[in-house]
């Protein structure tokens, strides 16, 4: 679903554009990705789609596409129901034996990026030789043997790895951790080179110049489960959690809850539009806009097709929402 700029101040269901991705199959969107050329790709539980003439057309069918990334040569790197494949614009390029070379099953490669592949274990290979020799595992050995769920590449080119036992940064052929037992959920790079990390159970963490500053409920957060992090235009840090919306003021967080107008405080997504309004996606309350200190709610009555909003993307004055089916 796309929300035009004219509908940002007040939702009008007549202005919303809905895309039916296929006939007969559910439109369960697994992933959204915008490539460097501006094309928005949609991965669903039954195929891969791209826009064409005001509609989305099927590029790959009968295949669940769970994650999408882009390689340096413009290929799409896809995690699918049958493992890792590439799309070169014309055909699927499979990599038989890749999972076996990593010591895992085909369905145990969970994420892919232009700098690293993650699986049950942590390995790295240059993007120019995906199909070449075996991946070397990163050290220390006990870390490389555990499940790695995803990576994040920061603006400085550092690769952060979310593993089953903590958060690590890949340095050459080694992995180092800023602190043990960090269960990362989301990443956001700030303008001054800081990296904010939202975690499950460890609160909000700020990484800067190899110095770790950890924020928890002791600093005013409602709890230590962080679902979304956003740095707004004025430098404020907003945190969405499972029980409230928080903003860092000085050294402590101010929390907004139901009594403040946020009628559903289970916050899963945050975004800031070109008008500098804050948008909040919730699990069960739809979408909220925070403007001039007041919350406005947009849900089924205003044209949303679901009360569950898991992700918000802002592009060229429009919103793209990732919703729960």
Q: Please name the residues in contact with 155: beta carbons below 8 A apart, sequence gap of 6 or more.
A: 189, 193
| C-alpha distances in Å from residue 60, one per residue of 37, 50, 56, 130, 235 | 20, 10, 12, 21, 41
From CA 14, how far away is CA 43, in angstroms rounded?
Answer: 26
Share of the chain above pLDDT 90, in %: 17
Do 301 and 280 sit in the same domain of this protein? yes
Closest CA to 272 of 215, 222, 303, 229: 229
Q: Are residues 147 and 200 in the same domain?
A: no
Could you tell me if residue 277 is inside a domain? yes
Last residue of a domain, one of 177, 212, 235: 177
User: What distance in Å separates the CA atoms of residue 218 and residue 236, rounded to the nearest whole number?
Assistant: 19
Tokens for 237, please give them.
């840090």
pLDDT at 48: 92
Q: Hunting for tokens 């039954």 — which residue is that? A: 46
Residue 8, in any domain of the structure: no
State residue 4's pLDDT score: 67
Domain check: are 221 and 299 in the same one?
yes
Mean pLDDT over 8-32 rounds to 72
How many residues appear in the chain? Answer: 325
The pLDDT value recorded for residue 114 is 58
CB within 8 Å of 33: residues ≥ 6 apart: 40, 41, 43, 68, 69, 70, 76
Would residue 22 count as lying in a domain?
Answer: yes
Higher pLDDT, 320 or 222: 222
pLDDT of residue 205: 85
Is 302 contained in some domain? Answer: yes
Residue 126, C-beta contacts closer than 8 angstroms, at least 6 positions apart = none
Interior/surface letters 204-230, b for 16+ CB within 10 angstroms, e for the rest: bbbbeeeeeebbbeeebbbebbbbbbb
Model confidence pLDDT, tens digit, residues 56-74: 889 998 888 988 888 888 8
Q: Are residues 258 and 163 in the same domain?
A: no
In the chain, how many domains are there?
3
The pLDDT tens digits for 259-307 are: 999 999 899 999 998 888 999 999 999 999 999 999 999 988 888 888 9
- Domain contains 154: yes
Residues 311 and 196 reside in one and the same domain: yes
In the beta sheet, which residues pair with residue 175? 170
In this predicted model, what pLDDT tens digit does every residue of 92-124 receive, in sequence order?
A: 988 887 777 767 777 777 766 655 444 444 444
Q: Is the same domain home to 123 and 210?
A: no
Q: Are residues 168 and 190 in the same domain?
A: no
Domain extent, residue 44, equals 17-91
CATH of the domain at 87: 2.20.25
pLDDT class of 30 with cuts at 50, 70, 90: confident
Q: Are residues 158 and 258 in the same domain?
A: no
Q: Are residues 189 and 164 part of one domain?
A: no
Q: Bridge partners of 50?
A: 57
pLDDT in tens, 129-145: 333 344 566 655 455 56
| Other Cβ atoms within 10 Å of 152 Cβ, number | 20
Has residue 2 been placed in a domain? Answer: no
Is 303 a domain residue? yes
How far is it, in rounded angstroms, from Cα 323 to Cα 325? 6
pLDDT above 70 as % of the chain? 73
């Amino acid at each position: 679903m796309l929300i035009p700029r004219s509908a940002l101040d007040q939702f009008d269901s007549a202005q919303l554009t809905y895309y039916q991705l296929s006939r007969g199959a559910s439109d369960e969107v697994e992933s959204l990705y915008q490539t460097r050329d501006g094309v928005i790709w949609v991965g669903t539980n039954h195929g891969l789609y791209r826009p064409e003439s005001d509609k989305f057309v099927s590029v790959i069918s009968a295949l669940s596409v769970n994650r999408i990334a882009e390689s340096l040569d413009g290929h799409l790197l896809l995690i699918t129901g049958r493992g890792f494949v590439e799309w070169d614009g014309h055909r699927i390029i499979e990599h038989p034996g890749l999972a076996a070379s990593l010591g895992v099953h085909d369905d145990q490669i969970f994420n892919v990026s232009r700098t690293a592949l993650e699986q049950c274990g942590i390995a790295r290979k240059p993007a120019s030789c995906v199909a070449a020799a075996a991946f070397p595992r990163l050290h220390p050995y006990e870390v490389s043997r555990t499940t790695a769920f995803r990576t994040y590449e920061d603006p400085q080119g550092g690769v952060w790895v979310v593993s089953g036992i903590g958060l690590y940064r890949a340095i050459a052929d080694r992995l180092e951790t800023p602190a043990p037992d960090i269960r990362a959920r989301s990443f956001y790079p700030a303008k001054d080179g800081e990296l904010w990390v939202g975690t499950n159970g460890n609160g909000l963490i700020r990484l800067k110049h190899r110095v770790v500053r950890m924020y928890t409920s002791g600093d005013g957060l409602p709890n230590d489960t962080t679902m979304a992090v956003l740095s707004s235009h004025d430098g404020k840090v907003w945190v969405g959690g499972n029980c409230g919306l928080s903003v860092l003021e000085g050294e402590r967080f101010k929390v907004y809850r139901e009594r403040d107008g946020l009628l559903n405080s289970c916050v899963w997504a945050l975004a800031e539009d070109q008008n500098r309004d804050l948008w909040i996606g919730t699990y069960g309350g739809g979408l909220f806009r925070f403007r001039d200190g007041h919350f406005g709610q947009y849900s089924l009555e205003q044209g949303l097709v679901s009360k569950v909003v898991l992700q918000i993307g802002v592009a060229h004055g429009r919103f793209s929402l990732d919703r729960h089916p």
